[in-house]
Amino acid sequence: MKFHILKEMTVYQDFLRIKKAWIKHDRFDGASSVTYDRECLDKGDFATVLLFEKDTKQIILVKQFRYPSIHHGDGWVLEIPAGGIEVGEDHKECAIREVYEETGYVTKNLEHMVTCYTSPGITNERMILYYAEVDQNDKTGEGGGNTNEDEDIQLHKYNISEIKQLLLSGTINDAKTVIALQWYLLHKIGDRYTI
């Protein structure tokens, strides 16, 4: 099956960028394709990391204010560290940088979990999720976010025995964090730890 972008243009640009495209593509029923227009939030990729502190058997999360979430809550979201990948930056470099900025932990060995779209109906944004193990000695920085970006981030630690309850209670309502914690339960708990 094929598609053809007839025209594409940026219709809005500030912190976010919105593109509009006129598209023609093959249809599953074999009928002739129609031309229609679609808009896309052109956000780019971001890297994110689920941190597990081995010596305390705790996962490390961050809490920060997220304006779009105020319509369904108080605005503060508990999540795993994440950030946008800058032009020319490697995914892993971004993940390491964001972890240090937000938590103060130095990470070295990242394990790729999954790469997926956040909401493919409206945005081209993909999240590249990683897993990393650290210990208390790896916390060499302040954390709290990048002050040049007005970030205000608070560190939270949870025992691995609390993961299921955090998910089932809705305390964790951020998609990337839900995906990462479910991945952790499926791939890392197993025979290694009892929860």
Which residues sit in the known binding site for Mg(2+)? Answer: 82, 98, 102, 151
Give the residue numbers of the binding site.
Answer: 82, 98, 102, 151
DSSP structure string for the chain: --EEEEEEEEEEESSSEEEEEEEEE--TT-PPP-EEEEEEE----EEEEEEEETTTTEEEEEEEE-GGGGGGSSSEEEE--EEEPPTT--HHHHHHHHHHHHH-B----EEEEEEEES-TTTB--EEEEEEEEE-GGGB-S--S--GGGT---EEEEEEGGGHHHHHHTTS---HHHHHHHHHHIIIIITTT---
